[in-house]
């Protein structure tokens, strides 16, 4: 069983693990189980398959098919239009600007959420007394559901009662979230980052704590500067965690920020920033353009797939798995 | 290269009433190989880590060379440490692992390459320089850890049980290599181990620790031949020295009703220490009931009971041994300790008398 993809029977990298999975070989030879009845394994995975089919494959196929049709707004029929919906979406300047904002939003939220998560983890790792209460306080935010986070955030940024609005007013700036485009961006980014920091914090902290104490001590003897030690030893050993979090954070900003955007942007009059996912929802359910919104969601699916492949191909090579 | 001086060094952890290390004084000469030995929890690692700067010093002073290092960072103390689990940087190649400490001290690229090459040659690591630690065996990793220490050319090497993770055979080989390397480089070394054999074979001088305090400092043979306390006596040497309750009765040392020797001491109880190799099975002498025998090949260790007290005797013969044997004791090779304090008592043992003489 030991081949180029494995060392001592264990897969070398995430990519090799995926390849083994693709070749339908067990990731670890010790984990191979034997069944006598050929149907038994299928029976065991049936519930999982059913869930995936009903909630993922079926809607996905629906989306792909309806993206080739223009549907009557009242549901009386559909006309096959080929790639017309895709053309419309890609040609639209509104779509382009939403895509640009989504990319921007992704980069900013991911960078900030990862940065703050790491910073807090590094600091919390050094705390000895009362460490438990600090960690609990930092992690607690994670228990808040995104729509609630959005609501709390909206209260903070509210034009009439929001404390952030008041703080901005002290500096002579009139914060108009939901009206002014960039004010809304600031609010969205702040809430999205705030919501994601605890998640990153937990993972970075456990990553830090899995670095052997003696390796840190060896670094302590080898390098005087704390910054050097952090860059040369801590950070590379956190790379697997960081890589995992990067993918999770990008997915989070692209999809899971939906409720936050909904709470902030919903029922607001102006031309507000939104992500591609929110636009899919808006066009499909508010605008009743099922075909167009389906086309957009298919494009989104392709973008995410490409992004994931690129991440695994180019970034994972630089990651060291201990 | 430097001498290391520990003056009244102590360590008390916050929230703990008693100290982990207290009143430790050691003067280590330049180039000397000092082994700190003792059972787990005796404070030997704590002491080493205080010298390294990985543990704060609660009291006393540590000098490396002429510098007081109490408040210096580990990186500023000019020491290199070899850890029990090697503590190599898993993401760096062997070359980078060895070069890292020196690189941070601003060595030129050329000097770096040269020193790494030298260390690699010395440790026969040449073919592995571009490998990552996980592609190496335990012994090779240990060598890399040694290399990392050597490359820096520090004032002192600190070893924290570096051989504990290796198998028995490799341990013996690496032990010799460490010793040879240290002699060749002439670098002062402080070595922590719980293995008394390792301690005996490596050390110029042993420091036996017990409960955070020094029991005895001395050359291995000196410690072996004149242990300062019952603790040292039972810790150094294998099989351990047998310690038996005896007493002095009007100038005679009596063990289990037998007169062992004539001594210059007042009446009262004493602890009698006997090394297994100083005893032999004889036609007459102290009667012993044999419990079990350990065959070691070149010799065997016979364990038995003398009046209910455990005694070990080394024997080289191949004859079968009966259930009850007689032991001859050389009165010149007795160790006498105070029963209460356990400290060695230098009592003059006068003359040889037949050990079978009954009272």
- Residue B114 to residues A99, A130, B209: CA-CA distances in angstroms? 54, 48, 40
Q: Which residues pair with B10 in a beta bridge?
A: B59
Q: Where in chain B is the domain with CATH 2.40.50.140?
A: 239-337
The per-residue pLDDT for A112 is: 96
Of A65-79, A182-196, B78-92, the poorest mean pLDDT is in A65-79
Instruction: Give the span between the Cα atoms of B255 and B311, in whole angstroms.
Output: 12
Inspect the interface and report whether the beta carbons of B87 and A236 lie closer than 8 Å: no
Quote the CA–CA distance of B205 and B215 in Å, as a whole number.
Answer: 13
CA distance A247 to A311: 8
Residue A133 CA: distances (Å) to CA of A118, A205, A208, B39, B333: 18, 14, 18, 37, 63
E strand map for chain B: 4-11, 21-28, 33-37, 59-64, 67-68, 79-82, 156-160, 188-193, 205-210, 213-218, 242-249, 252-255, 258-262, 268-274, 279-282, 286-295, 300-306, 309-315, 324-329, 335-337
CATH of domain B4-229: 3.40.50.300
Which chain A residue has its CA at the smallest distance from B81's CA?
A218
Is it the case that residue B124 has pLDDT exceeding 60? Answer: yes
Mean pLDDT of B172-176: 89
Give bridge partners of residue B248 from the DSSP assignment. Answer: B253, B268
A11-15, A105-109, B57-61, B197-201: segment of lowest average pLDDT: A11-15
Residue A317 confidence (pLDDT): 67
All CATH 3.40.50.300 domain ranges in chain B, comma separated: 4-229
Instruction: Determine the residue among B78, B87, B106, B148 to mutate to test chain A binding: the one whose Cβ has the most chain A Cβ atoms within 10 Å.
Output: B87
Instruction: Assess contact for B313 and B304: CB atoms under 8 A.
Output: yes
Does position A36 have pLDDT exceeding 60, yes or no? yes
CA atoms of A153 and A190, how far apart (whole Å): 8
pLDDT score of A145: 82
∠ at Cα B48 (B42, B51), nearest 5°?
A: 135
- B74 contacts in A (CB within 8 Å)? 217, 220-221
Among A129-143, A308-322, B19-33, B220-234, which is the least confidently predicted range? Answer: A308-322
**Chain A closest-CA separation from residue B209 CA (Å):** 23
Closest CA to B343 of B215, B222, B218: B215
Dihedral, CA of residue B22, residue B28, residue B34 and residue B36, to nearest 10: 0
% of chain B with per-residue pLDDT over 90 = 44
Paired residues of B29 in beta bridges: none
Band of the pLDDT at B250, cuts 50, 70, 90? confident
Average pLDDT over residues B177-188: 90
Residue whose tokens read 């901005």: A168
What are the tens digits of pLDDT across the range A52-110? Answer: 999 989 988 988 888 898 877 677 777 888 888 888 888 888 888 888 999 999 999 99
Of these ranges, A10-19, A109-118, B137-146, B341-350, the one predicted with the greatest mean pLDDT is A109-118
- Are B83 and A224 inside 8 Å of each other by CB? no
pLDDT tops 90 at residue B264? no
What does the buried/exposed string (b/e) look like for A161-194 if buried means 16 or more CB atoms within 10 Å of the residue's CB? ebebbeebeeeeeebbbbeeeebbbebbbbbbbb
Whether residue B80 and residue A221 make contact (CB cut-off 8 A), yes or no, is yes
Q: What is the mean pLDDT of residues B198-217?
A: 92
Q: Read off the pLDDT of residues B316-357 as tens digits, 9 standing for 90 and up.
A: 877 788 888 888 888 888 899 999 999 998 888 876 555 554
- β-bridge partners, B312: B303
B72 has a chain A CB within 8 A of its CB: no
Give the distance from CA B240 to its chain's centroid: 14
Q: In angstroms, what separates the C-alpha of B74 from chain A's closest C-alpha? A: 5
| Confidence (pLDDT) at A2 | 43
For residue range A212-268, what is the model confidence (pLDDT) as tens digits? 989 999 999 998 888 999 999 999 999 888 988 998 899 889 888 888 888 888 877
Residue B275's pLDDT band, with cuts at 50, 70 and 90, is very high
Give the pLDDT of residue A184.
Answer: 86
Q: Do B90 and A322 touch (CB under 8 A)?
A: yes
- Confidence (pLDDT) at A215: 92
Residue B227 pLDDT grade (very low, low, confident, very high; cuts 50, 70, 90): very high
pLDDT band at B359 (very low <50, low <70, confident <90, very high): very low
Q: Which residue has the higher pLDDT, B24 or A33?
A: B24
Query: Which residues in A lie closer than 8 A to residue B100 (C-beta atoms)?
Result: 222-223, 232
Give the lowest-confidence range in B19-23, B88-92, B198-202, B255-259.
B255-259
Contacts of A322 in chain B (CB under 8 A): 90-91, 134
Question: For residues A14 and A308, is the Cβ–Cβ distance under 8 A?
Answer: no
Contact A223 B100 (CB under 8 A): yes
- pLDDT, tens digit, 9 for 90 and up, residues A261-311: 888 888 777 678 888 888 888 888 888 788 888 899 899 889 888 888 887
Q: Does domain B239-337 have CATH number 2.40.50.140?
A: yes
The answer to whether the CB atoms of A224 and B87 lie below 8 A apart is: no
Q: Which residues of B touch A217 (CB under 8 A)?
A: 52, 54, 74, 81, 83, 87
Domain A92-318 belongs in CATH node 2.60.40.1220: no
**B84–chain A Cβ distance below 8 A for any pair:** yes
Q: Which of A212, A224, A236 sits opposite B85 (nearest CB)?
A: A212
- Would you state the pLDDT for residue B316? 83
Give me the mean pLDDT over the B169-186 stretch. Answer: 89
Nearest CA in chain A to B49: A217
Question: Region A193-201: what's the mean pLDDT?
Answer: 89
| A2: Cβ contacts below 8 Å, ≥ 6 apart | A8, A9
Q: Which residue of A has its CA nearest to B55?
A: A217
Residues B164-175: what's their mean pLDDT? 87
In 3D space, the residue among B170, B126, B167, B169 whose CA is nearest the CA of residue B144 turns out to be B126
Average pLDDT of the residues of chain B: 88
Handedness of CA A248, A251, A255, A258 (dihedral sign): positive
Contact residues for B162 (Cβ-Cβ < 8 A; gap 6+):
B82, B83, B84, B142, B145, B146, B174, B178, B191
Which pLDDT score, from 0 to 100, does residue B49 have?
92
């Amino acid at each position: 069983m030991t081949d180029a993809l494995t060392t001592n029977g264990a897969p070398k990298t995430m990519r090799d693990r995926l390849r083994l999975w693709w070749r339908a070989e067990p990731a670890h030879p010790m984990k191979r189980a034997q069944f006598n009845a050929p149907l038994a394994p299928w029976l065991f995975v049936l519930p999982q398959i059913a869930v995936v089919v009903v909630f993922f494959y079926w809607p996905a196929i629906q989306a792909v098919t309806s993206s080739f049709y223009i549907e009557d707004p009242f549901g009386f029929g559909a006309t096959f239009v080929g790639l017309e919906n895709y053309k419309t979406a890609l040609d639209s300047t509104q779509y382009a600007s939403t895509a640009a904002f989504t990319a921007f939003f992704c980069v900013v939220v991911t960078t900030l959420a990862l940065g703050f998560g790491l910073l807090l983890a590094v600091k919390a790792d050094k705390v000895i007394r009362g460490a438990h209460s600090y960690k609990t306080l930092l992690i607690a935010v994670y228990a808040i559901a995104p729509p609630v986070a959005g609501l709390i955030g909206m209260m903070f940024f509210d034009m009439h009662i929001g404390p952030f609005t008041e703080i901005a007013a002290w500096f002579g700036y009139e914060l108009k979230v939901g009206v002014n485009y960039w004010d809304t961006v600031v609010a969205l980014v702040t809430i999205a980052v705030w919501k994601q920091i605890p998640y990153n914090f937990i993972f970075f902290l456990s990553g830090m704590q899995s670095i052997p104490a003696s390796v840190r001590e060896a670094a302590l003897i080898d390098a005087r500067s704390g910054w050097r030690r952090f860059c040369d030893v801590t950070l590379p050993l956190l790379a697997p965690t960081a890589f995992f979090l990067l993918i999770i954070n990008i997915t989070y900003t692209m999809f899971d920020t939906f409720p936050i955007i909904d709470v902030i942007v919903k029922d607001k009059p102006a031309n507000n920033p939104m992500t591609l996912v929110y636009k899919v929802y808006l066009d499909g359910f508010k605008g009743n353009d099922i075909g167009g919104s389906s086309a957009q969601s298919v494009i989104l699916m392709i973008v995410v797939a490409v992004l994931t492949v690129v991440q695994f191909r180019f970034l994972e090579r630089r990651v060291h798995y201990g | 290269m430097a001498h290391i001086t520990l003056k009244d060094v102590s360590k008390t952890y916050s929230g703990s009433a008693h100290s982990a290390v207290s009143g430790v004084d050691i003067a280590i000469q330049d180039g000397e190989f000092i082994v700190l030995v003792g059972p787990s929890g005796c404070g030997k690692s704590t002491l080493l880590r205080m010298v390294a700067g990985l543990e704060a010093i609660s009291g006393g002073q540590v000098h490396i060379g002429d510098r007081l290092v109490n408040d210096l960072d580990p990186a500023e103390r000019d020491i290199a440490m070899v850890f029990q689990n090697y503590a190599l940087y898993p993401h760096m190649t062997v070359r980078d692992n060895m070069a890292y400490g020196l690189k941070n001290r601003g060595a030129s690229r050329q000097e770096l390459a040269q020193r790494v090459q030298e260390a690699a040659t010395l440790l026969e690591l040449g073919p592995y320089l571009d490998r990552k630690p996980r592609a190496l065996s335990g012994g090779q990793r240990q060598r890399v850890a040694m290399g990392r220490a050597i490359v820096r050319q520090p004032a002192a090497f600190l070893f924290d049980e570096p051989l504990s993770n290796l198998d028995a055979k490799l341990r013996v080989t690496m032990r010799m290599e460490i010793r040879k390397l240290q002699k060749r480089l002439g670098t002062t070394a402080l070595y922590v181990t719980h293995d008394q054999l390792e301690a005996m074979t490596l050390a110029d001088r042993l420091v036996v620790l017990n409960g955070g305090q020094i029991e005895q400092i001395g050359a291995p043979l000196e410690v072996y031949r004149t242990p300062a306390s019952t603790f040292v006596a039972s810790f150094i040497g294998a099989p351990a020295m047998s310690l038996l309750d005896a007493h002095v009765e009007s100038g005679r040392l009596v063990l289990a009703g037998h007169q062992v020797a004539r001594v210059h001491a007042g009446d009262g109880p004493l602890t009698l220490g006997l090394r297994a190799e100083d005893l032999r099975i004889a036609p007459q002498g102290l009667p012993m009931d044999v419990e079990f025998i350990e065959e070691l090949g070149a010799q065997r260790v016979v364990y038995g009971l003398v009046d209910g007290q455990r005694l070990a005797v080394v024997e080289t013969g191949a004859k079968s041994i009966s259930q009850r044997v007689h032991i001859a004791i050389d009165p010149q090779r007795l160790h006498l300790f105070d029963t209460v304090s356990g400290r060695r008592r230098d009592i003059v043992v006068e003359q040889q008398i037949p050990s079978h003489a009954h009272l």
